[in-house]
Amino acid sequence: MSTHNNPLALRNSPLLCYVTDRHALPIANPAGSLAALTQKIEEVVADGIDWVQIREKDLSARELASLTRQTVTMAGKYSAKRSPAVRVLVNDRLDVAIAERAGGVHLGERSLPVAEAKRLLASAVHGKMVDESFLVGVSCHSLEAAQTAERDGADYIFFGPIFRTPSKESFGAPQGIARLRQVCAVTIPVLAIGGISQENVNSCIEAGAAGIAAIRLFQDTAQLRQVIDPIRASKH
């Protein structure tokens, strides 16, 4: 992967990615979940999160595009005071990510293949719909899948679940730190995901992860800086 397209090339601290889940937000009226999520996104971006992955699979294309547009605008506002800029990723929907000029797309193992996403992306870059810094990432649940993603040109991977977590139970037993260490031997950045907490995050970084991705760790914390600052201080 070229240096200009490596989101971690100049980093000396772990990268932190907030994965959204509006249905898990503690709100009284579910009808207000989108508004609550927008507020939560602004809070985490203001507090220093590096990436926001919009993972709202049940939204219509119109709703997802609107949420992405708002998030990109918020990211731009806070990026003016930070370097590198806050990056917005869209889960699965490459078309929405390109149309709303997000910073990347995140693919599942059953989503559009990485190689095909890269082919479509090349056309978008050529047409100046997005710039060359746009990232294509993929979720992996085995060493073989991680190696395939690397071979097919993925810019980064999420690997997990590392620890037990309700949102990842469908993927089977936790992978554990030893397997994470094996996967981190690939040449592209690996972000650990699944059951990440303040108590176990350092073990993920020590195993070689370039950062972490989480829902509850960032979404359920009232004082997010108290979570982020100690992770930032972790040796990378």
User: Is pLDDT at 4 greater than 50 in this prediction?
Assistant: no
Half-sphere exposure of 76 (CA within 13 A, CB side): 10
Joined tokens for residue 84: 């590198």
Residue 5 in any domain: the answer is: no
Residue 2 lies in a domain: no
CA distances (Å), 231 to each of 31, 71, 87, 140, 190, in order? 34, 24, 19, 23, 16
Q: What is the pLDDT of residue 229?
A: 93
Residue 220 lies in a domain: yes
Residue at 8 is within a domain: no
CA–CA separation, 14 vs 210, rounded Å? Answer: 6
The CB-based long-range contact list for 24-29 (8 Å cut-off, 24+ gap) reads 24/167, 24/215, 24/216, 24/219, 24/220, 25/219, 26/220
Domain assignment present for residue 4? The answer is: no
φ and ψ at residue 20, rounded to 5 degrees: -80, 150
Q: Residue 195 sits in which domain range?
A: 13-232
The predicted model scores a pTM of 0.93
Pick the closest to residue 193 from 185, 204, 184 (CA basis): 204
Q: What angle do CA 45, 91, 84 make, to 5 degrees?
A: 35
Dist. CA 212–CA 9, nearest whole Å? 16
Q: Please give the Cα distance from 47 to 42 (Å, whole number).
A: 9
Residue 3, domain member (yes or no): no
- Considering the chain, what percentage of its residues have pLDDT values greater than 90? 81
How does pLDDT run across 41-95, given as a tens digit for each residue?
Answer: 999 999 999 999 999 999 999 999 999 999 999 999 999 888 889 999 999 999 9
The residues pairing with 193 across neighbouring beta strands, listed in sequence order, are 213
Number of independent structural domains in the chain: 1
Per-residue model confidence as pLDDT tens digits over 205-226:
999 999 999 999 999 988 999 9
Whether omega for the bond prior to residue 26 falls within 30 degrees of 0, making it cis, is no
pLDDT digits (tens, 9 = 90+) for 94-126: 999 999 999 999 999 889 999 999 999 999 999
Mean model confidence pLDDT for the chain = 91
The pLDDT of residue 169 is above 80: no
Task: Read off the CATH number of the domain in which 119 is found.
Answer: 3.20.20.70
Report the pLDDT value the prediction gives residue 164, as an integer from 0 to 100. Answer: 86
Greater confidence (169 vs 81) lies with 81
Tell me the C-alpha distance between 107 and 72, whole Å. 19
Residue 2 has pLDDT above 80, yes or no: no
183 CA to centre of own chain? 17
The answer to whether residue 69 is domain-embedded is yes
Per-residue pLDDT at 167: 62
Model confidence at 168, in pLDDT bands (50, 70, 90)?
A: low
In a domain, 114, yes or no: yes
Residues 40, 54: Cα–Cα separation, whole Å: 12
pLDDT score recorded for residue 39: 96
* pLDDT score at 55: 97
Phi/psi-derived region of residue 49, left when phi > 0, alpha when psi is between -120 and 50, beta in every other case: beta
